[in-house]
Amino acid sequence: MTHGTDNAWEHPEVQLAGGGYVAAFVVGLALMGLSFWMVRGHMFAPAGLAIAISAVAAVAALVQCVLLLHMNVSRTQVWQTVALVLFIPLFVLTIGLTSWMFHGLYRRTMMMPAAHAGAPATQAQAGGA
């Protein structure tokens, strides 16, 4: 414990924050414009559009992490970066596995007439096993 850290301006994170905010704003705006342009003009088929939008969103997230949150491996920031890296497998596991489970579940338990015709349970079982 050291004295003098009551003042938020003296925290090393703040002191070493540096710039990059304007660049982040401009790049963020550009990426948002890009995705807006893609959707408005129907530049790809719906499936391709979803992938393209997701890719742009991923780039935007990276830009925010690096330029706004200043994530890097410097002494003051390394733990924020570690937390972010830890978040990725967690995200994949929880959201990914949950989607996978629900994907099979809907076919098995909430069969609508149309879905029933399209994917009979026996077929799903055979495919799954």
Partner 1 sequence: MFVHIDGPWSPLLGRLALSEIPYNNPILIGTFAFAALLAVVLVGLVTYLGLWRTIWRDWLTSVDHKKIGIMYILIGLVMLFRGFMDAVMMRAQQAMAVGPHSAGYLDSPHGYLTPYHFDQIYTAHGTIMILFAATPLLVGIMNILVPLQIGARDMAYPYLNAVSLWLTAAGAALVMASLFIGDFAHAGWFGIVPVMELPYSPGVGVDYWMWAFQLSAVGTTLGGINLLATIVKMRAPGMTWGRLPIFTWASLSANLISLSTFPVVTVALALLALDRYFGTHFYTAGLGGNLMLYNDLFWIWGHPEVYFVILPAFGMISEIVPTFSEKPLFGYLGMVLASLGIAGVSWGVWLHHFFTMAASPAVNAFFSITTMAVGIPTGVKVFNWAFTMFRGRLRFELPMMWASAALFFLLVGGLTGMMNAFATNDYMVHNSVFVVAHFHMMLLLIVYAIFGGVNYWFPKVFGFRLEQRFGKMFFWLFTAGTAVVFIPMFTLGFMGMTRRLAYVAFPQWGPLLDIEVVGIAIYVLSAVFLVAQLYVSFRDRAKNRAGLDAWETSRSLEWMTHSPVPFYNFAVTPEVHARDERAWRVARGVDTVRPERYEDIHMPRNTAIPLWLGVLSFGLAFGLVWRMWWLVEVCAVAIIALVVIRSFDHDTDYTIAAKEIERMERAIRDVPSGRPAADDVIGGVPAFRQGV
Name the site residues for partner 1 (rule: CB under 8 A). 1-3, 6, 79, 86, 89-90, 93-94, 97-98, 100-105, 107-109, 124-125, 128-129
Contact 63, 24 (CB under 8 A): yes
Q: How far is the CB of 66 from partner 1 (least distance, A)?
A: 22
Q: How far is the CB of 109 from partner 1 (least distance, A)?
A: 5
Q: How far is the CB of 65 from partner 1 (least distance, A)?
A: 18
- What's the distance, Cα to Cα, between the start and end of the chain in Å? 58
Buried/exposed code over 10-19 (b: 16+ C-beta within 10 A; e: otherwise) = eeeeeeeeee
Residues 6+ positions from 100 with CB-CB distance below 8 Å: none
Helix or strand (DSSP H, E) at 122? helix 121-128
Rounded-to-integer distance, Cα 82 and Cα 87, Å: 9
Q: How far is the CB of 108 from partner 1 (least distance, A)?
A: 5
Contact 23, 45 (CB under 8 A): no
